Structure 1
Amino acid sequence: MKTHVSIESRPPEGHTPQWGMVIDLQKCVGCDSCTVACKAENRTPPGVNYNVVLEEEAGTYPNVRRVNIPRPCMQCDQPPCVGVCPVNATYKADNGVVIIDQDRCIGCRYCITACPYGARSFDFGETYADEMQGAEAITVPEWGAEHAERAGNKPPVGTVRKCTFCMHRTARGEEPACCETCIGDARYFGDLADPESLVSKLAADPRAFRLREEMGTQPRVYYLK
C-alpha cells in the first residue's frame, strides 16, 4: 500500500495545487507498467503513448549499467509548445498542467517539433478495433470531456495528444494511473506549492534533477539520481 500520495488529503479551500511529479530512477525497474496503465486509462490508439520508459547505458565497459528513464509530459513552466501554437490550442492551466484544447487544435504539429522531450503524439485515427472487440465502444474522459467517437476528423483524431497528469483522476482526488500502478513505487505525485508535501521535499533533495534544464523550460517532473 502506497503512503506517498500527497493528494489523498484535500487542499485548503481556495488553494490551487501546483501539480508536479518526482521519479526515483533507483527504484524504476523498467517494467513498463506505467506505459501500460496510462494506455489503458486513457485508451490511447496505436502510435500514441503518453508515458514511455527510455533506456540509457551508463558507465564504462565493463562497469556498465542500464538506467531506466520514465518520460511523461514535463508540464513545463516555460513550455515551448505553447508559444508556437498558431491558434492558442495549447495553454497552461492554473494547476500547472499543460493542456491541449482538442476542439481548437488544427493538427499543424508545430508543438510536436517544439517539444524538447518528445512528449507529444499526433492522432492519425488508427484503431485497435481489428485486434480487440469493442475497442471503440468505450468513452474516454479526458480534460473533462467525453470523446465517444474517433471517426473521420472528429477530435481527437487529427489533433495532438499528450499526458495531462490524468487530470480527470486528480480532479476526484486520485493520483495519475502511472503512479498508482508503479510496482517499484518509483513515482511521487503531489503539490509542489505545498512545502510540507513529500513531492515538494523530494524536488528539493540534492539528488533531484530535471531533464534538459539548460533549455530553460523549467519542467515540473523531477528525477532522483
Structure 2
Amino acid sequence: MGNNKDKNGVTGRRKFLKLGIMSGATAVAGTSLISSFASEAEEKTSGEKIRLLTPDGKIVEVDADNINKYPEAHITPAESRKGIPNRKFVMVIDLAKCKNARKCVESCQKAHQLDYHEEFMKVQLIQDNEEASPYWFPKPCFHCDEPPCVTVCPTGATFKRDDGIVLIDNDRCIGCKFCITSCPYSARQFNWGHKEKFDRTDQPYSPETSIPAAEGTVMKCDFCPDLLRQGKLPHCAKSCPMGVIYFGDKNEDIVTNGDETVRFSELIRDRGGYRHLEHLGTKPNVYYLPAVERQFPLERGFDVDEEIIERYNDVPYVQELKKKGKI
C-alpha cells in the first residue's frame, strides 16, 4: 500500500482521479481502467494527462478528456432515489490515526449548513473496559444494507439506493421520528428549528445535498452524494488532516483517504477491519480499523471546547484525568 506521488516525489494530497470507468475505446493495453476520486484542483483541460489505477494495481497515464465525468447538475428528489449506476459506496475509518481534530465534524457542518450543536459526524470517546485504553471513534450514518430506518418509515421519506446510500427526502418526511427510534447507532437527529442564517433560498431542495433543511424533519449524514457525482470525496474524508477516513467503491475494490489509494478488501483483511455492532445484522457500509499502534497520544484530542469535553464524562479515563487536574 504505497502513497501516490507527484512528479516531484512529494505526496499530492487529494490529487486523485475522476470517478467513472473508462470506455473500452480508451482502454490502455486492453486493460479496463478504473479511476478513484477527483481532487478539488483545477479542472483538467484538453491535452493534459491524468494517472489511473488499473485493477492489477498499476498506475498509467491517459488523456484527461477521456475520463467519463458526472455532471454538476441539480438532482431532483425523484432522481436522487436512483443512485449512481454500478456503484457500491463504502467508508473505512482508521481509528489508529484519529486524534479528535474534529475537521470532519466542522467541514460537514459547514457544507450542510448545520449549527454548532448539529452534527452528522460525531467523534465519540470509547473505553471498552476500565483496563483498556480509550480511543477516538468517528461515527457517521452507517448506510446499512439492512436499514431498520427504511423499514419503519411510513411515508417512504427514508430510502435506500442501489449504490448503498441511505437518504432522507424531507419533502416526504412528516417528523414522526420512527426512524430515529429504530436506528441502533443514534445516527439521526430531529430538526427542531433551523436558524435562518443556515437556510438557503438560492437553490431548489435535493435529498443529495440535504439543503435547504426543513424544520420538523429528520436529518443525518448522507455520504455527500452530490460530491460523489462529481468524482470528489465526501467533506469529512477530504478535510481530515490525518487521513483517518477512506472512501471508495466496493465494486471496484478501491478506497482512498486522499493520500493513498488502496484495495478495500486488502485493507480490511490485513488490518482486521470490522463493522460496529455487527451482531445487529444491519450490514453497515462503514468499516473500522482497530486502534492499535496509534499514531497520536490520546490527550491531544482534549484540545477542544469545555462543552465538548463534558460529553466524555462517562468515560473512566476522563474521570481519572479530571481528578489529576490534567484536563
The alignment partner of 1:158 has SS state of coil
Higher strand share: 1
Could you say if the C-alpha distance between residues 138 and 191 of structure 1 is closer, same or farther in structure 2, counting changes exceeding 3 Å? same
Alignment of 1:13-24 (within 5 A): 16-24=86-94
Q: CA shift at 1:94, angstroms?
A: 1.6
What is the match of residue 193 of structure 1? 251
What is the match of residue 123 of structure 1? 191
Q: CA shift at 1:191, angstroms?
A: 0.2
- How many percent of aligned residue pairs carry the same amino acid? 34
Counterpart check, 1:2 vs 2:13: yes
Counterpart check, 1:55 vs 2:55: no
What is the match of residue 107 of structure 1? 175
Residue segments in structure 1 that go unaligned for 5+ positions in a row: 149-154
Q: CA shift at 1:101, angstroms?
A: 1.2
Bigger mean CA offset, 44-53 vs 173-182: 44-53
Which string of whole-angstrom CA distances, capped at 9 and with x for unpartnered residues, describes residues 77-121 of structure 1?
Answer: 000101111111111012110011111111000100110111101
Distance 2:176 2:250 in 1: 33
Compare CA radii of gyration and give the structure with the larger one. 2
What is the match of residue 74 of structure 2? none
Please tell me whether the aligned partners of residues 105 and 159 of structure 1 are also in contact (alpha carbons under 8 angstroms). Answer: yes
Alignment of 1:203-218 (within 5 A): 203-218=268-283
TM-score by length of 1: 0.83
Counterpart check, 1:169 vs 2:242: no
- Structure 1 residue identity aligned to 2:287: Y
Bigger mean CA offset, 98-107 vs 41-50: 41-50
Distance 1:99 1:146 in 2: 9
The alignment partner of 1:53 has SS state of strand
Q: CA shift at 1:199, angstroms?
A: 5.5
Aligned residues: 211
Counterpart check, 1:31 vs 2:101: yes
Q: CA shift at 1:18, angstroms?
A: 0.5
- Asked which structure has the greater RCO (Cα within 8 Å, sep 6+), the reply is 1
TM-score by length of 2: 0.58
Residue segments in structure 2 that go unaligned for 5+ positions in a row: 1-11, 24-83, 256-261, 291-327
Please tell me whether the aligned partners of residues 122 and 161 of structure 1 are also in contact (alpha carbons under 8 angstroms). Answer: yes
Please tell me whether the aligned partners of residues 85 and 163 of structure 2 are also in contact (alpha carbons under 8 angstroms). Answer: no
